[in-house]
Structure 1
Amino acid sequence: MKEIESIDDIKIFVDEFYEKVRRDELIGPVFWEKIEDWQHHLEKLYAFWNAALFGVPGFRGNPFAKHAPLKIGPEHFERWLKLFHETIDHHFEGQIAVEAKNRAELMAFMFLSRLQKMEGGADKVVY
């Protein structure tokens, strides 16, 4: 176990995480339906996490806008977080690993909250 220290470590967890996502029976189909070029998607995610964890410029995009039209609800976010935590915990430990998990949780919470509000209220489940 080691700390997340570089883009190379980010590539390890992003690659393994999205391999799990692609095989997952709940969230896999959501991604397969929208992503045609997986390598391009992975490259964007490397840049996203490099910016989020290390402040390295290079990520451009609006992740929420890409997720807003998807038919996803709380169960999708729960599964996404479960797989993300498993992946980080399998390879890494330390402050940056904890920060990655915290940022993923915050992002999931914010996305779900915004999606629910778009659908008519914070108590409404998105399907």
Structure 2
Amino acid sequence: MEDIQDLASIRIMVDDFYTRVRKDELLGPVFSSVITGDWQPHLNQMYDFWNAALFGVPGFRGSPFIKHAPLPIGTEHFIRWIKLFNQTIDGHFQGQVAATAKNKAELMSVLFQNKLQYAKGQKKIIF
């Protein structure tokens, strides 16, 4: 297996990950309640997000937390999200950028969980 190298690699990663998400009994209903039709606009945004996060390529615009804050999600959703994300990466890639992608996903998970708890008045920090 090769490392994540470019936008083509990111497309493979994102497409496979969201295929897994849509089929997942915990995450699928959450996403399908928000994305009711064509998934391509969301996928395009995720290509841009990961291209910026991994390679510093400009193009992503948005506030991911704001879109996730109103969703009915908790710790179990983040645990499953990380599990599926890591399975996706490990199924396609190996190397430094792949490891960086998994680390960034984990950091995002912790950040989102902290912000959600803070927004709900539970000023706990999760590590």
Could you report, residue by residue, the CA deviation over 1:98-119 in whole angstroms, capped at 9, with x for unpaired residues?
Answer: 0000000000100011001111
TM-score of the aligned structures, taking structure 1 as reference length: 0.95
Instruction: Determine the structure 2 residue equivalent to 1:38.
Output: 39
Runs of 4+ residues deviating >6 angstroms: none
How many pairs does the alignment contain? 123
Please say if 1:21 is aligned against 2:21: yes
Could you report, residue by residue, the CA deviation over 1:71-99 in whole angstroms, capped at 9, with x for unpaired residues?
Answer: 10000000000000000000100000000
Amino acid of the structure 1 residue aligned with 2:25: E
RMSD: 0.7
Instruction: Determine the structure 2 residue equivalent to 1:10.
Output: 10
Unaligned residue ranges in structure 2 (runs of 5+): none
Unaligned residue ranges in structure 1 (runs of 5+): none
Question: For the residues of structure 1 that align with 2:27 and 2:120, how far apart are their CA atoms?
Answer: 20
Instruction: Determine the structure 2 residue equivalent to 1:94.
Output: 95
Amino acid of the structure 1 residue aligned with 2:31: F
TM-score of the aligned structures, taking structure 2 as reference length: 0.95
Instruction: Determine the structure 2 residue equivalent to 1:115.
Output: 116
